[in-house]
Structures are given as C-alpha cells and as structure tokens.
Amino acid sequence: MKVLNLLLVALVTCTFGLSAMSTTGYAASDQKEATTSADTAKTTKQAGKVKKEIPHEVNINTADKELLVQLPGIGPVTADSILKYRETNGQFASIDELTNVKGIGNKTLAKLKPYLQKL
C-alpha cells in the first residue's frame, strides 16, 4: 500500500512538473515568436522610412510630372493639375501663382518654396 501511495505521489509530482515545464516551453516559444514578429515589423517600418532625396531648384515652368511628384505635398493628381494649368495659362510668372492650381493652398506652397527655383 505504501508503495502504491509513493508511486501515486511520484506520478502526480511528475505530471505537475511536466505540465509546468511544457507551459514554460510554450510561453518561451510564444515569446520568441512575438519578438521575431516585432523585430520584423520594426525592420519593415525602418525600411519604409528611407528618405528620398527631394530635388532642389525645380523650375515649375519646365518640370515634368515625374519631377513634380517628388516634391513635398505634390501627388500625381496635383502634378497633373500643375501641367494642365501651364498648358491653359502659359508659364507661371511667380511661384505664388501656384496657389491658383487646384490642390495647392498656402500651406502646400510654403512646403514647396524651398525646393523651387526663383522665377
């Protein structure tokens, strides 16, 4: 009877011990996967932050769409609007005339001025 009780106690102890070890193993594995995922996300985010070189001294009267979209605040639609404005009204007489283009307000113009050639 004593032997049976000792075996039962040993069995229960081993079961709890294995249970604790496997839980720790799963937790460590989950933590490792979470860390790996976080590291991957961080690396991806850093890769997305690669700064593009913004062109300087851009002449708004001669710049094509590809050059215009590289400027801050100018996307493809606004670049098309600038080109259409140039076709319709001729060359810009001043940089401030850009505010006549749909999609360019005073804030966007302020972002653009450091990158534009004086007219």
Res 63: pLDDT: 97
Q: Tell me which DSSP letter residue 53 carries.
A: P
- pLDDT class for 44, splitting at 50, 70, 90? very low
Res 116: pLDDT: 97
Average pLDDT over residues 58-66: 97
Average pLDDT over residues 50-74: 91
Percent helix, strand, coil in the chain, to 5, is 70, 0, 30
Whether 36 and 75 map to the same domain: the answer is no
Residue 79: count of CB within 10 angstroms of its CB: 21
Whether 76 and 110 map to the same domain: the answer is yes
Whether 45 and 18 map to the same domain: the answer is yes
Note whether 78 and 103 are within 8 A (CB).
Answer: yes
Does the reported pTM lie above 0.75? no
Q: How many domains does the chain have?
A: 2
In the chain, the amino acid numbered 82 is: I
In the chain, the amino acid numbered 70 is: Q
Whether 70 and 34 map to the same domain: the answer is no
Res 70: pLDDT: 96
- Domain range spanning residue 4? 1-50
Residues 6+ apart with CB under 8 A from 103: 77, 78, 81
Res 69: pLDDT: 96
More confident residue, 26 or 111: 111
Structural domain includes residue 58? no
